[in-house]
Amino acid sequence: MIDYNPKAWFTFIFRFHKGDTVRKLFPMFIALSAYSALVAFLELELLKLSPNSDLKQITLIHSLLGFVISLLLVFRTNTAYDRWWEGRKLWGALVNNSRNLALKLNAMLPASNTASREFFRIMIPNYAFGLKNHLRNLYQPEEFQQADSMQLQQDKHVPNQIAAKIIAHVHELYRQGQISGEQLLSLNPELLSFTDICGACERIRNTPIPFSYSVFIKKFIFFFVMTLPLGYVFTLHYLIIPVVVFIFYVLASLELIAEEIEDPFGFDANDLPTDTISTNIRKHVGEIL
């Protein structure tokens, strides 16, 4: 995720960062410039069409469709941002529940039980790192801190394996009489929340926007922009070249941004800082326990 100062206007305007859509769309800018120049040359120089040509009436269609495409793109970006923000809330809940679980265990466990304290100090943050990589379809054992019985199978659901070990250890403490039944019930919401958060993140990652909807928006933008020079060239002449490029930049950028943030758990510039969040969980849980 990009860290930035939201008040630095001029920095935003004149700097091209990794997530800037200009880099991705630049080849299309060149192609559209050549296409618009060719249309302008054919209509103005070669065919010498009159400004009152029937082709000019196509601008009326663009006026009507402009409102429709704006509604579609607003809905598209809002839907994508909702997914991004829900993902951020889920990881915020993971931070809070990890701290709460550590605080409760710190208060419940006897000071002499250093083995269990060390187990939870290691395994609670390991769950965050396991979930982070699980959502990226990765397995990076070097990010885990090792604890007793830390035997994970790469081909199985890693977060579930870690959560199962944490819950099993808590129940073992109950059977040993080191925590009471009331304390076990008190720990239960945080223990169950890990799997709930994982399932909600998987729902976001595994349920993209419907294919037909995504294809329709892309086709709509393409044909809308490609037909712009046909009518507006009589009014703008060769200025149609930068105008078409700018309109395409605005419309296509909204779609690209929506595509990037609708799956917020990857490595894109605007994805959630799950690496930083996982590191902070390890730091804070370590301080508590």
> Range of 142's domain?
97-207+274-288
Q: Calculate the dihedral angle through the C-alpha atoms of 101, 105, 108, 110, rounding to the nearest 10 degrees.
A: 180
C-alpha to C-alpha distance for 92 and 183, rounded to whole angstroms: 24
Residue 68 lies in a domain: no
Question: Is residue 259 assigned to a domain?
Answer: no
Domain count, the chain: 1
| DSSP for residue 142 | G
The number of helix segments (H) and strand segments (E) in the chain equals 10, 0
Shortest CA distance to 108 belongs to which of 181, 204, 43, 37? 181
DSSP annotation of 263 reads S
Specify the 3-state DSSP secondary structure of 157: coil
Confidence of residue 2 (pLDDT cuts 50, 70, 90): low
Identify whether 242 is part of a domain. Answer: no
Q: For 41-59, what is the mean pLDDT?
A: 76
Q: How far apart are CA 68 and CA 179, in angstroms?
A: 61
Matching residue, tokens 């390890």:
282
Q: Which one has a higher pLDDT value, 36 or 235?
A: 36
pLDDT of 75-100, one tens digit each?
A: 999 999 999 999 999 999 999 999 99
CA-based torsion, 94, 99, 101, 102: positive or negative: positive
